[in-house]
Amino acid sequence: MIKIEDVTYEYNSIGEEGQLRAIRNLSIDVKRGEFLVILGHNGSGKSTLAKLMNGLLIPTKGDIYVMGMNTKDENKIWNIREKAGMVFQNPDNQIVATIVEEDVAFGPENQGIPPAEIRKRVDEALRIVEMTEYKRHAPHLLSGGQKQRVAIAGILAMNPDCIIFDEPTAMLDPTGRIEVMNTIKKLNKVEEKTIVLITHYMDEAVEADRILVMEQGEIVMAGTPREIFKQVKKVKELGLDVPQVTELVYELRKEGIDIQEDILTVEELVRLL
């Protein structure tokens, strides 16, 4: 779906330091249908990587291909942004209209899609994010989780194959976080969208097929959630948390209790104990 080949990205920062190298010689493949989570502490380069993936930023060195289209190809840039849609942290910055259905229609209208087809896409997108009953509501009166689901519907209406989420739940309350995570899981499992999710919540990361951990613009760990979170010490050294169960298993093992290392869910641990 997305191929990143030996990419470096430098910001031209003002001041004496000159260039800031936010991504360093990074190569990854995002597979079709995959649920990929990217972790890393603040400033490790996650948002820069996300913006490179849908052509909002262009590599200083190396190449990125979205479904075979190079993000450096100016003729392909709109196509790339349709195929790899992006959802950001703050839903208020992503909502543009005063009625939910008009907001969701904004993307396909700009794509020049015929009105009948737009109506179909809007209905379908609102159905998927379970916001149909709010079709004629004013977005600013919705909860954070609902607004973020409207923002997701707006991306869905453009028919993407891949959606890149940059900390989509960071500004939401616990209920909103659950709503949005359930929507993201459904997009992957039911709608078969490729998902790239940047998050700092470990309970969200355990849902992934694969996790990449970033540090100073590089990938420093890669593996399934089990492979990553059994390395409690290493994950913590990178400034990240581990899921609560994983932490408990780690402490129990330190006390000499012989318990399987790669536990991810409360149910598994309860069964073993």
* Binding residues vs Mg ion (CB under 5 A): 46-47
Residue with smaller CB distance to ligand ADP, 28 or 153: 28
* Beta-ladder partners of 61: 8
Question: Which residues are near ligand ADP by CB under 6 A?
Answer: 11, 13, 20, 22, 40, 42-48
**How far apart are CB 58 and ligand ADP at their closest, in Å?**
14
Contacts of 181 (CB under 8 A, 6+ apart): 169, 204, 207
Residue with smaller CB distance to ligand ADP, 38 or 263: 38
Q: Which does 22 bind (CB under 5 to 8 A by kind): ligand ADP, Mg ion, none?
A: ligand ADP
Contacts of 87 (CB under 8 A, 6+ apart): 94, 148, 151, 152, 155, 163, 164, 165, 166, 168
Question: Please, what is the angle between helix 100-110 and helix 115-128, to 10°?
Answer: 130
Give residue 157's Cα distance to chain centre. Answer: 18
**How far apart are CB 124 and ligand ADP at their closest, in Å?**
32
Residue with smaller CB distance to ligand ADP, 50 or 249: 50
**How far apart are CB 185 and ligand ADP at their closest, in Å?**
23
| Strands lying side by side in the sheet with 2-12 | 19-30, 2-12, 61-66, 69-70
**How far apart are CB 42 and Mg ion at their closest, in Å?**
7
**How far apart are CB 9 and ligand ADP at their closest, in Å?**
8
**CA angle (100, 159, 123) in 5-degree steps:** 35
Q: What does DSSP assign to residue 31? A: P
DSSP notation for 238-270: TT----HHHHHHHHHHHTT----S---SHHHHH
**How far apart are CB 16 and ligand ADP at their closest, in Å?**
14
Residue with smaller CB distance to Mg ion, 42 or 75: 42
Q: Which does 108 bind (CB under 5 to 8 A by kind): ligand ADP, Mg ion, none?
A: none
- On whether the CB atoms of residues 52 and 219 are closer than 8 A, the answer is no
Residue with smaller CB distance to ligand ADP, 13 or 244: 13
Q: Which does 70 bind (CB under 5 to 8 A by kind): ligand ADP, Mg ion, none?
A: none
Q: Which does 223 bind (CB under 5 to 8 A by kind): Mg ion, ligand ADP, none?
A: none
Residue with smaller CB distance to ligand ADP, 157 or 212: 212
Task: Compute the distance between CA of residue 229 and CA of residue 209 in angstroms, rounded to an integer.
Answer: 13
